[in-house]
Amino acid sequence: MTEHLASRQFWIQAPGRGEILEREIPASVEGALRIRALYSGISRGTESLVFRGEVPPSQFETMRAPFQEGGFPGPVKYGYASVGRVEAAPDGPPASNGPPPHLARALQGQTVFCLHPHQDVYWVPPEAVTPLPAGLPPGRAILAANMETAVNAVWDGGPAPGDRIVVVGGGVVGLLIAWLCGRLPGCEVVVEDVNPGRRSIVESLGLSFARSGDRSGEGGADLVFHASGHPEGLPRALELAGSEATVVEVSWYGSRSVTLPLGEGFHSRRLTLKSSQVGRVPPHRAPRWDTARRMRLALELLRADPLEALISGESGFHELPDIMARLSTAPGDTLCHRIRYATAP
């Protein structure tokens, strides 16, 4: 008779309604790792769209997360920022694309990041996890998927030393993009946001803050990133771009439409509007980089202590249904909200 373990999982049962369900999972899975979650993170922009049922049918397959169960708009188990400890490693032969057995066994007891939904215990193949580098607190590692998105956006934008760069939208991804650009020599990086409360966080990262609506400096940026998640932010990003500049669109709007003033300065300034999406490594990087290498880089970058400021709150796993309902309708000052599991230190 097959033995099972109890697993508590967060499911979106219908748009606007989440629930923690207890499901049985096998007590052993050949060739897989059993992960006991310590923390998970809410990727507020995308997860709020999913929670509200705003994924358009044309994107149902594209928007599937690794290890997702169910389908949009629900019931669906969704999420992709889990940090946990390996409490069981495989003894048998590896999967066809997995690591050698001795490397998989070496993961026993390690703390790892995995693109997995919110769940307290789960099985994944060894190649689905990335061990945390020394010096990275597990509670901060939940930002790995956001940092991976930011790295991809910076690759897409191609900033250069000395550039004047504006990031419209001071959410987690926008702040990470700005922080990465701010490490380039001579760059002047400004984060523009409607919320003046973001000023202290922006300045703690060594960056400059501007409140949206300040009309100074329009049309002078070498590179603009739009990461506000709001349709009205993209026209503002176009306003800020200088002649022959590039605007990188990082926001994803789900089923919402965006209206742009392309009849104004867009053509006369010969602007480039470029999309960025973390699902693929940019073509000019793909010959040398894969998603595993990109994830290792994201975790290494998160060792920087100032990035702890992007964790704006923490709640227990049992509170997640109420937290998601609140964040999806009235996010307030929330950046990344961390979910703590019973085994967290």
Q: Where along the chain do its domains lie?
A: 4-140+302-340, 146-275
Fold held by 146-275: Rossmann fold (3.40.50)
Q: At 68, which amino acid appears? A: Q
pLDDT at position 77, please? 98
Using one digit for the tens of pLDDT, what is the confidence trace for 39-62?
A: 999 988 889 999 999 999 999 998
pLDDT at position 45, please? 82
E strands within the chain? 4-14, 17-26, 33-42, 69-70, 76-77, 82-88, 111-114, 121-124, 129-131, 164-168, 188-193, 208-211, 221-226, 241-249, 272-275, 311-316, 336-340
pLDDT at position 92, please? 58
Cβ atoms of 322 and 12 within 8 Å: the answer is no
pLDDT at position 285, please? 95
pLDDT per residue as tens, the chain (345 positions): 468 899 999 999 999 999 999 999 999 898 999 999 999 999 888 899 999 999 999 999 989 999 999 999 999 999 999 999 999 987 655 555 566 666 677 899 999 999 999 999 999 999 999 999 999 999 999 999 999 999 999 999 999 999 999 999 999 999 999 999 999 999 999 999 999 999 999 999 999 999 986 655 566 999 999 999 899 999 999 999 999 999 999 998 877 888 898 887 899 999 999 999 898 999 999 999 999 999 999 999 999 999 999 999 999 999 999 999 999 988 778 899 999 999 887
pLDDT at position 218, please? 65
pLDDT at position 177, please? 98
pLDDT at position 100, please? 62
3-state class of 223 per DSSP? strand
pLDDT at position 44, please? 84
Longest dimension (CA), the chain: 72
pLDDT at position 255, please? 75
DSSP symbol at 127? G
pTM comes to: 0.92
Which option is the CATH number for 4-140+302-340: 3.40.50.300, 3.30.460.80, 3.30.70.250, 3.90.180.10?
3.90.180.10
pLDDT at position 91, please? 67
pLDDT at position 171, please? 94
